[in-house]
A and B are shown apart, each in its own frame.
Chain A
Amino acid sequence: MHFSISFLRVGILALTTAILALLPATASAQQEPEFYNDQPYAYGEWNIGRRTNPSEFRYCVDQRDPSWELDNEVADAIAHGLLLQPVKYIVPSEMVVEDLTKVYAILLEHCDVFMGFKLIPAGYPGWLTVTRAYNDVGYVFVTLRPGINALSDLPPGRPIAATAGTTAHVRLASYNLTLTPQKRWPVFPYGGDQLSLESVLRKDADIAIVWAPSFREIQQQNPEYAGFRIIASTPLPPTSLGVGALLLKQNTFFRAGIDDAIKALIADGTIPAIVNKHKIPAAGKR
């Protein structure tokens, strides 16, 4: 079959029908992210030995993640629960953004468990495995504008800043598309939570949608953000995601033990106590 402009002109309906007929089988058989088969590469990985001390719980946390101290405490609790010696590695990078494939080298070289990843459905490649959630964290809608207490208070046509590609952004974009053009809000995508909040400070946007731990950290560290208020996400439901840890797929057996530990530590109140101590803002008020 040779798709071409002329072909499309005469046969686009037939083509679409044929393609739709193909979709269920192919999509379900090969529903992988784009990097699924792109084997990540760790420089000199043949020089990296395998772990030989099974009494250690080697975990990574990343200080660029505003929840890293919470993740750190949870990891220590899991280690104790598994009667293992916690061995922490703090990722030293100062890069603003990294590709997910970067965790391959970190997991290979420095730790078995990388704490603090959002459990996005179908969001991980096959070379990774993900633990059950030990926390539930949300995105918050925040504003500086008086009189706006919910997304629904924002007049159509007024812009919203969203950190690009987050679950909350995708949900808002999806909802926006269901509205008539006259009732939509322009949604401006930003590369990070700080940039989204800055856009509200500059009055480029009236509301920002950001990850709750980021908002808390930025507001605590910068006086100019003191005036931001969390508002209700109505008419959208609050958006939150479970947070868990990553392991390389060859550690699936170990992950099962970690899952059991997380379950027990939630049940006995250990993890809820750690979460409460860190007081991350709720995902959104109705």
Chain B
Amino acid sequence: MNVQSLLRSTVLGTSLLALVAGTAMAQTPAATLLSKVTPVTDDMLKNPPDGDWLLWRRTYNGWGYSPLDQINKDNVKNLQLAWSWGLTPGGTTQETPLVHDGVVYVQNSTHLIQALNGATGELLWQYQYRLPDGVQPNGLRSKAIYGDNLIVATRDAHILAINAKTGKLVWDQQVADVKKGWGYSSGPLVANGVIVQGMTGCGNAQPGGCFFTGHDPKTGKEMWRINTIARGDTPEGNSWNGIPTEARYGGSAWIAGSYDPDQNIVFAGVGQPYPWPAVINGLLPKNPDAKYTNNALYTDSTLAIDPTSGKLKWHHQYLQNDTLDLDYVYERLIIDLPVNGQTRKTVVTAGKLGIVEAIDRVNGEWLWAKETVPQNVVSAIDPKTGAKTINPAVIPQIGQTTFNCPADPGGRAWQATSYSPKTRMLYMPTVEFCSNTVLNPLDQGQVYTGGGLATYNRVPMPNGDGNIGQVRAVKLDDRTDAWMYRQHAPVTTSTLPTGGGLVFVGTLDRKLLAFDDTTGKLLWTSPTFTNSIESFPITYSAGGKQYVAVVTNWSSGLGRLKLITPEIALPAHNPHEVYVFALPN
């Protein structure tokens, strides 16, 4: 008698069959949902369904804007918690969930990757990637989805493809050796069928700087690699003050870029030289040989990369010889804007200084700059080239304390700026603070070191109003200020503008806020969460209903401003959760 016959012939069997059938019925909605997940195509990435969030900033242009309008200015006050999901606590998750066909994909700091039902929060599958011993579990800011696979980068410098329906590993590509310091903190961008991934962790251990790589999405195989630190006997290669390539560090590519399909160009940012102080990293004092400059290309630049060939088409450097850790590495917004009476194809970005700048995305020509947060680092900007004059008083010197505004977390940090085509406004989360900066030898242990060799003692802005956090809205057509919201607690998430005329943003004091996108009026404040929010809020639809999702966490970015907001208490073990809001049925 086989098992099936036995089961049929017994009462117990009858009961078991009923139980099995019940289980199968319970799994049916999940299985059905996953069975309906469609492959993500190039056309879909170029023009995503309104209800999906397929890329880090939702669309190739990097706007971070959703056209969904079910939740709007009139009804946002009725938002309620729809569901929540606990993530592994600890680490520095800076999560951007992706959503496709009603499935929400999240990455825990431990590299536990999960698929959740976007309408209910039900777990659909999970995949645990095992980090090697000694690699601190931390999350990544972004991931990608392409074809049938979720594309995930890891803290130990691997790229993974995981089947989006099943959670099964498809391929695992090691790109660099984590033992030498390399690793990823952001995920890839898939452009014209190529996975484009930037490397970070190119500080003390690994000479020659970081790089971008291009990978085959079918296999993960590396197709090309370009260095973020210029080399060779060229004007770019000779921009490192005459120091050899092996003594050049930094140029981390730690934020995913944007993509212009019309030109087949990825625009991506590069961070600063390392260690930070120029008197230590060799960029000062200036080499007297006129052959050399000390601009340190391609740090603090936009690179225009052909994703098919990996060729660097052009670059624009925003900040030469950055000696204060002022990364110009963040999101690149692809926007067509009026400039001097003409419509120009632009790329808009801002580094930690909070100076918004536009360049021509066809040829890299600098177009304009717009200051936002108070700063004392740049004393002048050339109106034709964008070249900056640095206030000499802020350059860190051995044996001196210098004073700079802002400091290392930045007047804006990796929390992304967004753009709404409805209002033609840029929405930027900013913070105002300063720092007493000291250059330190920090080789405490022969292996253990203290970072960038400068310490930033963060202090409130002199004569400030005590409002450290802001949301700023700037009309990009004429670069005038539209509105500004100010509060004491730092604003610590990216902004999320929607078709419903709202801008969502999160704060260090554990709240998600919603503003009128035109006036800046605060329309809704969430209940207080379990933790601060340093992540990227998104919105999506599932089953015809709009949801707003955000991951709560304390991270190492603007969370460092806790020092000047000691009254904001946060839980000890850094809980992480996904909170999802919707209107009542």
Contact = CB atoms under 8 A, between A and B. Distances in A.
A189 B280 contact: yes
A18 interface: yes
A8 B451 contact: no
Given A27-B436, A37-B562, A99-B448, A186 B457 contact: no
A253 interface: no
A62 B179 CA distance: 15
Interface string B172-188: 00000011110000000
A49 interface: no
Contacts of A38: 556, 560
B205 A44 contact: no
A190 B462 contact: no
A95 B447 contact: yes
B136 A43 contact: yes
A226 B405 CA distance: 49
A260 B110 CA distance: 42
A94 B134 contact: yes
Given A120-B440, A123-B442, A170-B441, A26 B204 contact: no
Contact of B207 (A34, A35, A191): A191
A149 B382 CA distance: 49
Interface stretch (A51-59, A159-167, A277-285): A159-167
Interface stretch (A76-84, A172-180, A230-238, A263-271): A172-180
Contacts of B399: 174
Contacts of A120: 440-444
Interface in B141-190: 178-181
A7 to B, nearest CB: 8
A89 interface: no
A116 B445 contact: yes
Given A26-B457, A165-B280, A65 B445 contact: yes
Give the bracket for the number of chain A residues in contact with chain B. Answer: 35 or more
Contacts of A143: none
A191 B443 CA distance: 11
A34 B90 contact: no
A65 to B, nearest CB: 4
Contact of B455 (A32, A45, A182): A32
Contacts of B439: 170
Helix, strand, loop or mixed for chain B's interface?
loop
A16 B206 CA distance: 38
A174 B137 CA distance: 38
B391 interface: yes
Given A30-B436, A102-B136, A165 B449 contact: yes
Contact of B244 (A32, A163, A167, A204): A204
Interface in B452-481: 453-457, 459, 461-464
A31 B438 contact: yes
A9 interface: yes
Interface in A83-103: 92-100, 102-103
A190 B285 contact: no
A67 interface: yes
Contact of B378 (A5, A118, A167): A5
Give the bracket for the number of chain B residues in contact with chain A. Answer: 35 or more
Contacts of B374: 1-4
A181 interface: yes
Interface string A106-145: 0000000000111010111000000000000000000000
Nearest to A168: B441
B379 interface: yes
B181 A118 contact: no
A123 B527 CA distance: 41
B262 interface: no
B445 A118 contact: yes
B446 A65 contact: yes
Contact of A195 (B242, B246, B442, B444): B246
Contacts of B82: none
B288 A26 contact: no
B137 to A, nearest CB: 5
Contacts of A188: 243-244, 247, 282
A41 B446 contact: no
B486 to A, nearest CB: 13
B451 A97 contact: no
A118 B447 contact: no
Nearest to B92: A41
Interface in B380-432: 380-381, 391, 393, 398-399, 401, 403, 405, 408
B198 interface: no
Contact of A100 (B247, B448, B574): B448
B371 interface: yes
Contacts of A19: 393, 403, 462
A177 B279 contact: yes
Contact of A12 (B249, B391, B454): B391
Interface in B188-245: 203-207, 241-244
B450 interface: yes
Given A31-B457, A34-B408, A165-B453, A123 B279 contact: no
B440 A181 contact: no
13 contacts: A1-B463, A3-B374, A34-B408, A34-B455, A95-B178, A95-B205, A97-B447, A98-B445, A98-B449, A164-B204, A174-B398, A182-B288, A186-B243
Query: Top 3 closest A-B pairs, CB basis?
Result: A188-B247, A96-B205, A1-B463
Interface of A: 1-5, 8-9, 12, 15-16, 18-19, 22-23, 26-27, 30-38, 41, 43-46, 62, 64-67, 92-100, 102-103, 116-118, 120, 122-124, 161, 163-167, 169-170, 173-174, 176-177, 181-182, 184, 186-192, 195, 198-199, 202, 204, 211, 213-214
Given A100-B449, A165-B441, 5 more contacts: A5-B381, A165-B443, A166-B441, A186-B287, A211-B443
